[in-house]
Structure 1
Amino acid sequence: MSPAESIKRTLESVPSKFRGPGGAVAVVKDGELAGQHVWGYANLDARIPITPTTIFPICSISKQMVCLVLTDLLQNDKDKAFEDALHKALHELLPQDLMANKDLTVERMVAMQSGLRDYWALTVLWGATPGGRFSIYQDAPKALKRLGGFHFAPGTEMSYCNSNFMTLGIAIEKATGQTLGGLLESRLFDPAGMKTAALRPDTERLPAPLVGYEGSDENGYVAYQNRIEWAGDAGIQASLEDMVAYEKHIDHSSSSAHSAYQKNSQEPHYIDGSAANYGYGLARIEADGMTVVGHGGALAGFRLHRWYVAEKRVSVVALLNSDMDSAEVAGYVLRNVAGLPAKEQQKGSLSETKVEWTGYYLDEEANLAIAVSHGGPGELLIYYAGHEDKVKITDSTKASSKGMTVSYEVGKLSIHRLREGRKLTAKSLAPPGSPNDGEEVIYTGSYRSEEIDSKFHCTGTGEMLYVAFDGYLGEGPAHLMKHIGKDVWWLACQRSLDAPAPGCHCWLLAGKKRQVRQE
């Protein structure tokens, strides 16, 4: 079978392997389109099919494109006027106590090493409702002034945070006096031949006929309407044809030592000099001795992904109008086209091993709970900061994956999250029962956090508690909480304005760990 026929068969097999309303995939090899395939419907109700020109919101894939403009501005600014204006704008947007930290730099922001808190998660605490409006020029500045302190010291760890890129997008406009959309058009879209790509911040106004769907193959799909504005962090929309043009442009740029993409795709580092895996809107992974660089994007009803292997000059793009895992789709195509190894399968004598250290733990430094449960054979599920990671059990006290190592001592977990450069120790929480060993404590009432300007209401009886948040975005919905041990409660929040809120699942209500004052 010829390489062209192999690529064609791989792409045509995607719809059967990854069922959903529709999608579009493409492979660019050696700087040319090697194959593309579109299937399904842009609008199920109207029976309008997806085509190569259907425009998708590419969401967080936007970050790398904004960074190309940023680097281009910095590289071509001989007298440092733009750099100075950019720093002035950042001082206007962010709290001064944060900007006083010399390690908070533009380089740390584009590497997700700033230590800033993610406004996406904080919108829940500011009273946002699912599907609510969020305005760049009205709500975003208020959000940035309410971020509170650092999540960690800048440059020491990596935590995915949209605040970095929202801030930079606004700051670039302030520094240049031009719109971010206009800068993207003149410095990237036009040179790359992305004819229909544009920055369209309002997610409520997608170009017809595209609709995003939530649901599953088993339960059916329902259209979802987003109402968020975003720009620097996720506002670009583009068709498959636009993304193919982008991949061709990236392949050409990668051969130039002075191109913005060449600079931006270099391996990033932490402040101590150790290697990181995220910089300038690009994530890096190692697979079979090759470096794969790319990014995903997500919005309720949409999942997108792109990967590029410079060594083999192969790009893969996957655009879906559902919540299916686009990284799985892009990875499947890339493994077949670039000859990367198949996903690892469970094997060995430990496949049936079950450990005795499942349960709940508390990372006291970050004030986040960790849930450990059994997954498949020889597998543990580690739920932390809004994400679930699968690790393989290697012996009775250890488990690991490519992104994480876990070791257990009696009553304690030691976790190294490799991709974030974060090492943490978490202590076991007592099994659920009486939160205070028989001592009667009244949790209900209203509490206030001055740091982030948020009010927290707690209602209910016994261990059936409900919570709601008020803030500058309004009065949010009630959420359910359950006791998981000691003075820690688990707050179930499946959606903020649009997506699940990262890290919003642990609330400390009692004792010395109380994070808010009662009113």
Structure 2
Amino acid sequence: MTKAPADFAARIDALFQDFTGPGSPGAVVAVTENGREIFANAYGLANINNAVPMGRKTIIRIGSQTKQFTVLLILMLEAEGKLSLSDEVQKHLSYVPQLEQPVTLAQLASNTSGFRDHLEAMIFAGLSIFTPSDRQTGRDVIARQDALNFKPGSAMTYCNAGFFMLSEIIEQIEGATFNDVLRKRITGPLGMDDTSLLIRDGAAMNRLAAHYTKREEGWANLNWGLDLGGEGGMISTLDDMIVWQQNLFDPKVGTPDMYERMATPCVFDNGATGFYGLGLVTDVYRGRRAVGHGGTVAGGKSESTRFVDDGFGVVIIANNDQVASFALGRRIADIYFGDTQPAPIALAPGRYRQEGGPDVFEIVARDGVATFLNAGGVGGFDFGHQGGAKPERAITDLVLSPRADGKVDGVFCGTPRLYAPLQAGAAAARPLAGRYVNKAQDLEVEISGDASKGEFRLRSGLGAMAAPIVAADADLWFLLQPGTDMRPGLPWNATLAVTADGFEMNSDRIKKLAFKQA
């Protein structure tokens, strides 16, 4: 007997009503209970030009959900004695630099390696994500990394480079393409015939959806130029992803031990438990364990979550980047379990800076409720999270709670932080004007302007980038949007923290990128 309320279907349909109008892309959704489908629907169009409706068999990009397949393949190779997750990366990939601390394959798979994200690094080197680039470009960017974001195992920052490297190791050991290994070991045996790796956007394929973004003039096709692999290049259908989700908990491919390891959260050096395992996100929502992964890719969003102790699963795949798939998965769970939203925590609007550090976030009031914004994106809060308000997006290990003195207490990866309000209209202690270099990564920057604002111009062997900068504090600047490559709609993409001999750039996935005055 289902636990779902009588109006379950109608209330889910209401969540997706913005994607049912004429000329709108959409999404496909399924809900399962103990492996049995209790709801499914398709909304909007797979292709606006030809008015092709979305359906269960529509093939759509699933983005970073690819990572769980990559990790399963790695675990299969480990079970056959072909590698160990305790191996250092350089044992398998000679082009990866040996930096401050050794990094293991397990740390790549848990986002705790400290490696900088190579996709973000490409963009900050002036290479547009829409410009064609190949896998060798990715290798070159990784090979030029000159420092880690943090000591491996001490924190978690989302890193596509880790899964890029894991997929390279799979291909090297197997002597075959990632797609061929995937088909042989996972999708073929499971009958997931519409699931594969689509390396590059723009391919022609029967039932493949077009992928869209929203611009002022309306919907527009969005295609990246880079080659995608085990970090986020897979496509699938609603039917296939239901099969995959069920296999995670009743394995026909892989073993229960493999999936238990994937779903076991990482433990940081400080003893705190994170929420990312090995290619799977494990969190507690409203007191219930939730295991799964989401994905964001050019013109696409996805989410697959199962509440493991309750036998309740949600799959969402969208062919546009406006569907808040992670939050919508939780709203569907709220409807099913009959949970109500907890009272909002009173976080005062404004920008806050980490005391003694460069991390900045902003609280924006929307309809009187606090919303979180930083260089990684914008979204609501889970006000029912243990310890305070947690940004309601899959990959943010930060919990906030207000203090009486106007500051905000934070816990990042188990480590306490204190954030203080930034004053609007701040001026820097001095202009940042001058020429700067990072020789290891072939980066040159020229900055002009005064103590309140300026222009940032970067050149490298990969390209060029120009963007405004504005003062955020006496020793901190905001690097504003250089265009549409990063995360459109955000007020800044990175901070520039002044040092004795230059500055350090910090973005959502790149930390301590040092530039010295030339």
Q: Is the 8 A contact 2:99 2:146 kept in 1?
A: no
Q: What's the counterpart of residue 421 of structure 1?
A: 414
Q: Cα 1:89–1:149, aligned 2, differ >3 Å: closer, same or farther?
A: same
> In the alignment, is residue 197 of structure 1 matched against residue 201 of structure 2?
no
**Structure 1 CA distance for aligned equivalents of residues 403 and 86 of structure 2:** 49
Q: 1:483 aligns with which of 471, 484, 501?
A: 471
> In the alignment, is residue 96 of structure 1 matched against residue 87 of structure 2?
no
Aligned AA for 1:514? F
Q: What's the counterpart of residue 508 of structure 2?
A: none
Q: What's the counterpart of residue 32 of structure 2?
A: 28
> In the alignment, is residue 435 of structure 1 matched against residue 425 of structure 2?
no
Question: 1:88: how far off?
Answer: 4.7
Q: What's the counterpart of residue 40 of structure 1?
A: 44
Report 1 or 2 for greater relative contact order, CA contacts < 8 Å, sequence distance ≥ 6. 1
Q: What's the counterpart of residue 496 of structure 2?
A: 507
Q: Cα 1:294–1:399, aligned 2, differ >3 Å: closer, same or farther?
A: closer
Q: Cα 1:274–1:368, aligned 2, differ >3 Å: closer, same or farther?
A: closer
Question: 1:251: how far off?
Answer: 3.2
**Residue 253 of structure 1 aligns to a residue in which SS?**
coil
Q: Cα 1:33–1:408, aligned 2, differ >3 Å: closer, same or farther?
A: closer
Q: What's the counterpart of residue 507 of structure 2?
A: none
> In the alignment, is residue 517 of structure 1 matched against residue 516 of structure 2?
yes
Q: What's the counterpart of residue 457 of structure 1?
A: 446
Map 1:286-297; keep pairs closer than 5 Å.
286-297=284-295
Map 1:12-23; keep pairs closer than 5 Å.
12-16=13-17, 20-23=24-27
Map 1:11-410; keep pairs closer than 5 Å.
11-16=12-17, 20-77=24-81, 80=82, 87-98=89-100, 101-102=101-102, 104-136=103-135, 138-205=136-203, 207=205, 209-215=208-214, 220-253=218-251, 258-323=256-321, 324-337=323-336, 339=337, 341-346=339-344, 358-362=350-354, 364-365=356-357, 367-372=358-363, 374=365, 376-377=367-368, 379-388=369-378, 400-401=389-390, 403-408=398-403
**Residue 150 of structure 1 aligns to a residue in which SS?**
coil
Deviations 1:107-165 (A, max 9, x none): 222111111111222222211125222311x2011111122211111111111111111
Aligned AA for 1:488? L
TM-score, normalised relative to structure 2? 0.83
Aligned AA for 1:212? H
Any stretches of 5+ residues in structure 2 without a counterpart?
Answer: 392-397, 505-514
Q: Cα 1:368–1:86, aligned 2, differ >3 Å: closer, same or farther?
A: closer
**Structure 2 CA distance for aligned equivalents of residues 454 and 201 of structure 1:** 28
Most deviating of 15-24 and 162-171? 15-24
**Structure 1 CA distance for aligned equivalents of residues 66 and 431 of structure 2:** 47
Among all aligned residue pairs of Structure 1 and Structure 2, give the percentage whose two residues are the same amino acid: 20
Q: Is the 8 A contact 1:300 1:499 kept in 2?
A: no
Q: Is the 8 A contact 2:427 2:451 kept in 1?
A: no
Q: Is the 8 A contact 1:54 1:240 kept in 2?
A: yes
Q: Is the 8 A contact 1:93 1:167 kept in 2?
A: no
Aligned AA for 2:118? Y
**Structure 2 CA distance for aligned equivalents of residues 293 and 511 of structure 1:** 45
Q: Cα 1:450–1:312, aligned 2, differ >3 Å: closer, same or farther?
A: same
**Structure 1 CA distance for aligned equivalents of residues 83 and 431 of structure 2:** 58
**Residue 65 of structure 2 aligns to a residue in which SS?**
helix
Q: Is the 8 A contact 2:264 2:282 kept in 1?
A: no
Aligned AA for 1:128? L
Question: 1:253: how far off?
Answer: 2.0
Q: Is the 8 A contact 2:72 2:254 kept in 1?
A: no
Deviations 1:431-469 (A, max 9, x none): 535422xxxx55434321134332222245664422132
Aligned AA for 2:98? Q
Aligned AA for 2:44? G
Q: Cα 1:6–1:207, aligned 2, differ >3 Å: closer, same or farther?
A: farther
**Residue 38 of structure 2 aligns to a residue in which SS?**
strand
**Residue 465 of structure 1 aligns to a residue in which SS?**
strand
Q: What's the counterpart of residue 444 of structure 1?
A: 433
Q: Is the 8 A contact 2:501 2:516 kept in 1?
A: no
Question: 1:255: how far off?
Answer: 12
Question: 1:506: how far off?
Answer: 0.7
Please report the RMSD computed on the Cα atoms of aligned residues, expressed in angstroms: 3.5
**Residue 26 of structure 1 aligns to a residue in which SS?**
strand
Deviations 1:259-311 (A, max 9, x none): 42233123332234432210112112212332011111112311111111222
Question: 1:15: how far off?
Answer: 3.1
Q: Cα 1:498–1:84, aligned 2, differ >3 Å: closer, same or farther?
A: same
Q: Is the 8 A contact 1:22 1:41 kept in 2?
A: yes
Question: 1:170: how far off?
Answer: 1.0
Q: Is the 8 A contact 1:25 1:240 kept in 2?
A: yes
Q: Cα 1:146–1:258, aligned 2, differ >3 Å: closer, same or farther?
A: same
Any stretches of 5+ residues in structure 1 without a counterpart?
Answer: none
Aligned AA for 1:228? L
Question: 1:256: how far off?
Answer: 9.2
More helix by share: 1
Deviations 1:389-411 (A, max 9, x none): 656999xxx97447512455869
TM-score, normalised relative to structure 1? 0.83
Most deviating of 157-166 and 9-18? 9-18
Most deviating of 379-388 and 220-229? 379-388
Question: 1:66: how far off?
Answer: 1.0
Q: Cα 1:88–1:448, aligned 2, differ >3 Å: closer, same or farther?
A: closer
> In the alignment, is residue 472 of structure 1 matched against residue 466 of structure 2?
no
**Residue 58 of structure 1 aligns to a residue in which SS?**
strand
**Structure 2 CA distance for aligned equivalents of residues 172 and 188 of structure 1:** 14
Q: Cα 1:70–1:273, aligned 2, differ >3 Å: closer, same or farther?
A: same
Q: 2:480 aligns with which of 477, 492, 504?
A: 492
